[in-house]
């Protein structure tokens, strides 16, 4: 079976995020106030061939660790990409 999966990659706590900070600084000028703690991250959607959804998620988690994220500065997690 083929399962849609999403891997989310976010910066680890305490790691500086210049991109998020720069976006946040730009917001007031655009009329957006009250937005704080902006953090930029990445996501990857893919279809995974596996026995079950949980097997697909496991595979995605391994992929996330090995290739899609840099564990020194990022956290990664996998979730189902099926429309809820």
Partner 1 sequence: MKIGVVVFPGSNCEYDALNAVQSLGVEAEFIWHTNTDVEGFDGVILPGGFAHGDYLRPGAIARFSPVMEAVARFASSGGAVLGICNGFQVLTEAGLLPGALQKNAGLTFLCQPTTLVVESTASVLTRGATKGQELVVPINHFSGAYTCDDATLASLEANDQIVLRYTQNPNGSRDDIAGVRNVEGNVVGLMPHPERAMSTLLGSADGRVLLEGFVRAPVGAH
Partner 2 sequence: MTQAPEPLHRALGLNDEELEQIVAVLNREPNPLELALYGVMWSEHCSYKSSRIHLRRLPSDGAHVLVGPGENAGVIDAGDGIAVAIRIESHNHPSAIEPYQGAATGVGGILRDVFTMGARPLALMDPLFFGELDDARQRWLVEGVVAGISGYGNSVGVPTVGGELTFDECYASNPLVNVLCCGALPRERLVLGVASGVGNLAVLLGSSTGRDGIGGVSVLASAGFSGEDGAESLDDAKRPSVQVGDPYEEKRLIEACLELLDRGLVLGIQDLGGAGLICATCETAARGGVGMDVDITAVPLREAGMQPYEIMTSESQERMLAIIKPQNWDDVARLCAKWEVRASIVGHVVEPSIDAHGNAVGMLRVRRGFDGEILGEVPARSLADEAPLYDRPRLRPSSLDAMRLDEPTSEELRGLANEQLLELLIDPAWVYRQYDSQLFLNTVVGPGRDASLLRLAGPGLPASNRGIALSTDSNPRWCALDPRVGTALSVAESIANLACVGASPKALVNCLNFGNPEHPEVMWQLSESIDGMAEACRAFEVPVVGGNVSLYNESGGNDIDPTPVVGLLGVVDSLLAPPPGWNWTSGDAVMLVGVRHAGGANPFPLAGTRWATQRGRRGGTIAPFEPRALKETFAFVAREISVICAGAPSDVTAVHDVGSGGLATALAEMASETGLGAQVLELESHAELFAEFPGRFVMTTNDVEGFIARAARAGVAVEMVGTVGGTALAIGSSIDLDVTQLSARRRHALADALHTAL
Question: Which residues of this protein are in contact with a second copy, per CB under 8 A?
Answer: 2, 8, 10, 20, 23-24, 26-27, 30, 32-50, 59, 62-63, 66-68
Query: Contact at 8 Å (CB) between 57 and 4?
Result: no
Query: Contact at 8 Å (CB) between 52 and 46?
Result: no
- Of 1, 25, 42, 82, which one interacts with partner 2 (CB under 8 A)? 25
**Residue 66 touching partner 2 (CB under 8 A):** no
- All residues at 6 or more sequence positions from 28 whose CB lies less than 8 Å from its CB, including other chains: none
Q: Which residues bind to partner 1, rule: CB under 8 A?
A: 12, 14-16, 18-19, 22-23, 26, 29-30, 40, 67-68, 70, 72-73
Burial class (CB in 10 A: 0-12, 13-18, 19+), 51: exposed
Binding stretches for partner 2 (CB under 8 A): 12-18, 22, 25, 29, 70, 72-73
């Amino acid at each position: 079976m083929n399962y849609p999966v999403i891997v989310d990659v976010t910066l680890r706590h305490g790691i500086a995020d210049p991109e998020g900070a720069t976006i946040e600084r730009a917001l007031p000028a655009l009329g957006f106030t009250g937005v704080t703690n902006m953090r930029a991250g990445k996501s990857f959607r893919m279809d995974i061939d596996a026995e079950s959804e949980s097997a697909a998620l496991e595979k995605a988690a391994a992929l996330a660790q090995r290739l899609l994220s840099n564990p020194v500065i990022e956290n990664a997690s996998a979730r189902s990409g099926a429309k809820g």
